[in-house]
Protein backbone atom coordinates (compact mmCIF):
# COMPACT_ATOMS: atom_id res chain seq x y z
CA UNK A 1 0.00 0.00 0.00
CA UNK A 2 1.12 3.51 -0.73
CA UNK A 3 2.19 5.65 2.21
CA UNK A 4 1.17 9.31 2.32
CA UNK A 5 2.42 12.15 4.47
CA UNK A 6 0.24 13.30 7.35
CA UNK A 7 0.56 15.79 10.15
CA UNK A 8 -0.79 14.10 13.26
CA UNK A 9 -2.56 16.58 15.51
CA UNK A 10 -2.11 15.01 18.93
CA UNK A 11 -3.52 15.65 22.38
CA UNK A 12 -1.63 18.15 24.57
CA UNK A 13 1.76 16.96 25.84
CA UNK A 14 1.57 13.57 24.06
CA UNK A 15 3.96 14.30 21.17
CA UNK A 16 6.79 12.13 22.53
CA UNK A 17 4.45 9.28 23.44
CA UNK A 18 2.95 9.38 19.93
CA UNK A 19 6.46 9.29 18.45
CA UNK A 20 7.22 6.27 20.66
CA UNK A 21 4.14 4.44 19.31
CA UNK A 22 5.26 5.22 15.76
CA UNK A 23 8.74 3.91 16.61
CA UNK A 24 7.28 0.69 18.10
CA UNK A 25 5.21 0.11 14.94
CA UNK A 26 8.35 0.88 12.86
CA UNK A 27 6.62 3.75 11.06
CA UNK A 28 8.54 6.69 9.66
CA UNK A 29 7.94 9.85 11.64
CA UNK A 30 9.58 13.11 12.58
CA UNK A 31 9.21 15.07 15.81
CA UNK A 32 11.35 18.23 15.78
CA UNK A 33 12.62 19.02 19.28
CA UNK A 34 14.54 21.91 20.80
CA UNK A 35 16.51 22.14 24.04
CA UNK A 36 15.30 24.39 26.81
CA UNK A 37 17.63 25.14 29.71
CA UNK A 38 16.01 26.20 32.98
CA UNK A 39 17.16 26.53 36.58
CA UNK A 40 15.39 24.54 39.27
CA UNK A 41 16.63 25.05 42.83
CA UNK A 42 20.07 26.20 41.65
CA UNK A 43 20.45 23.27 39.26
CA UNK A 44 20.57 23.54 35.50
CA UNK A 45 17.89 21.36 33.90
CA UNK A 46 17.94 20.64 30.15
CA UNK A 47 14.67 19.51 28.62
CA UNK A 48 13.85 18.59 25.04
CA UNK A 49 10.49 20.02 24.02
CA UNK A 50 8.53 19.79 20.77
CA UNK A 51 9.28 22.64 18.38
CA UNK A 52 5.67 22.47 17.16
CA UNK A 53 3.56 21.54 20.20
CA UNK A 54 0.63 19.31 19.32
CA UNK A 55 2.01 18.01 16.01
CA UNK A 56 3.98 14.98 14.78
CA UNK A 57 4.85 14.36 11.12
CA UNK A 58 4.38 10.81 9.81
CA UNK A 59 4.26 8.78 6.60
CA UNK A 60 1.44 6.25 6.82
CA UNK A 61 -0.77 4.04 4.66
CA UNK A 62 -4.54 4.01 5.34
CA UNK A 63 -4.36 1.02 7.74
CA UNK A 64 -1.50 2.57 9.72
CA UNK A 65 -3.41 5.85 9.89
CA UNK A 66 -6.40 4.05 11.47
CA UNK A 67 -4.03 2.23 13.82
CA UNK A 68 -2.64 5.56 15.05
CA UNK A 69 -6.13 7.04 15.45
CA UNK A 70 -6.99 4.07 17.71
CA UNK A 71 -4.15 4.93 20.13
CA UNK A 72 -6.40 7.65 21.56
CA UNK A 73 -3.47 10.10 21.34
CA UNK A 74 -4.22 11.46 17.87
CA UNK A 75 -7.03 14.01 17.63
CA UNK A 76 -7.02 14.11 13.82
CA UNK A 77 -4.79 13.70 10.82
CA UNK A 78 -4.05 16.53 8.43
CA UNK A 79 -3.34 15.71 4.78
CA UNK A 80 -0.17 17.25 3.34
CA UNK A 81 -0.97 18.66 -0.13
CA UNK A 82 2.68 19.40 -1.06
CA UNK A 83 4.83 16.78 0.71
CA UNK A 84 8.09 17.72 -1.06
CA UNK A 85 7.80 21.30 0.15
CA UNK A 86 7.11 20.15 3.72
CA UNK A 87 10.03 17.69 3.67
CA UNK A 88 12.34 20.44 2.40
CA UNK A 89 11.25 22.77 5.21
CA UNK A 90 11.67 20.05 7.87
CA UNK A 91 15.15 19.22 6.53
CA UNK A 92 16.15 22.86 6.80
CA UNK A 93 14.99 22.96 10.43
CA UNK A 94 16.84 19.70 11.21
CA UNK A 95 19.99 21.03 9.50
CA UNK A 96 19.87 24.21 11.58
CA UNK A 97 19.48 22.14 14.76
CA UNK A 98 22.46 19.91 13.89
CA UNK A 99 24.60 23.02 13.36
CA UNK A 100 24.50 23.51 17.12
CA UNK A 101 22.64 26.80 16.99
CA UNK A 102 19.62 27.47 19.15
CA UNK A 103 16.44 26.76 17.20
CA UNK A 104 13.16 28.00 18.60
CA UNK A 105 9.74 28.76 17.26
CA UNK A 106 8.73 32.37 16.70
CA UNK A 107 5.46 33.84 15.61
CA UNK A 108 5.04 34.57 11.95
CA UNK A 109 4.18 38.22 11.48
CA UNK A 110 2.81 39.93 8.41
CA UNK A 111 3.62 43.46 7.34
CA UNK A 112 1.24 45.96 8.94
CA UNK A 113 0.30 43.69 11.83
CA UNK A 114 0.02 45.36 15.27
CA UNK A 115 2.53 43.99 17.82
CA UNK A 116 3.70 44.61 21.39
CA UNK A 117 7.34 44.20 22.44
CA UNK A 118 7.58 41.64 25.28
CA UNK A 119 11.30 41.78 26.11
CA UNK A 120 14.49 43.68 25.52
CA UNK A 121 15.17 47.41 25.73
CA UNK A 122 11.90 48.32 23.97
CA UNK A 123 9.68 46.33 26.37
CA UNK A 124 6.05 47.50 26.35
CA UNK A 125 6.25 49.48 23.10
CA UNK A 126 3.39 48.94 20.67
CA UNK A 127 3.65 49.43 16.93
CA UNK A 128 3.30 47.82 13.51
CA UNK A 129 5.56 45.33 11.70
CA UNK A 130 7.49 46.55 8.66
CA UNK A 131 10.15 44.82 6.53
CA UNK A 132 13.02 47.02 5.35
CA UNK A 133 16.00 45.59 3.45
CA UNK A 134 15.37 42.15 4.96
CA UNK A 135 15.25 43.46 8.53
CA UNK A 136 12.20 43.31 10.76
CA UNK A 137 11.25 46.74 11.99
CA UNK A 138 8.59 47.96 14.37
CA UNK A 139 7.00 51.24 13.35
CA UNK A 140 5.82 53.67 16.01
CA UNK A 141 3.25 56.19 14.86
CA UNK A 142 2.88 59.72 16.18
CA UNK A 143 -0.67 60.22 14.95
CA UNK A 144 -1.01 63.90 15.78
CA UNK A 145 2.10 64.79 13.76
CA UNK A 146 1.37 62.35 10.95
CA UNK A 147 4.87 60.89 11.30
CA UNK A 148 6.44 57.61 12.36
CA UNK A 149 9.68 56.20 13.71
CA UNK A 150 11.04 52.70 12.91
CA UNK A 151 13.11 50.53 15.26
CA UNK A 152 15.04 47.40 14.28
CA UNK A 153 13.90 44.52 16.49
CA UNK A 154 14.06 40.74 16.79
CA UNK A 155 10.74 39.09 15.84
CA UNK A 156 11.06 36.79 18.88
CA UNK A 157 10.71 39.86 21.11
CA UNK A 158 7.21 40.62 19.78
CA UNK A 159 3.74 39.26 20.30
CA UNK A 160 0.62 39.83 18.20
CA UNK A 161 -1.96 42.30 19.48
CA UNK A 162 -5.68 42.37 18.88
CA UNK A 163 -6.59 44.95 16.24
Q: What is the pLDDT of residues 56-76, one digit of tens each?
A: 999 999 999 999 999 999 999
CA-nearest of 15, 98, 101 to 58 is 15
Burial of 10: CB neighbours in 10 Å, binned 0-12, 13-18, 19+ = buried
| Residue ranges matching CATH 2.30.30 in the chain | 114-160
pTM of the model: 0.70
Helix (H) or strand (E) holding 34: strand 33-40
CATH 3.30.70.940 location in the chain: 4-98
Quote the CA–CA distance of 151 and 163 in Å, as a whole number: 20
Give tens-digit pLDDT for 129-161: 887 777 777 777 655 456 677 778 788 888 888
**What 8-state DSSP symbol labels residue 157?**
G
Thinking of the domain 114-160, which architecture would CATH place it in? Roll (2.30)
For domain 4-98, the CATH class is alpha beta
Amino acid sequence: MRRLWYVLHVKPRTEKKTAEYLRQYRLWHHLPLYRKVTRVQRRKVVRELPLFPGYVFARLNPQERVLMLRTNLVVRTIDVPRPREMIHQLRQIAHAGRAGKEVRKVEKFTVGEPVRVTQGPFYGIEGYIKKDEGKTMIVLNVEILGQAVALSILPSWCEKMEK
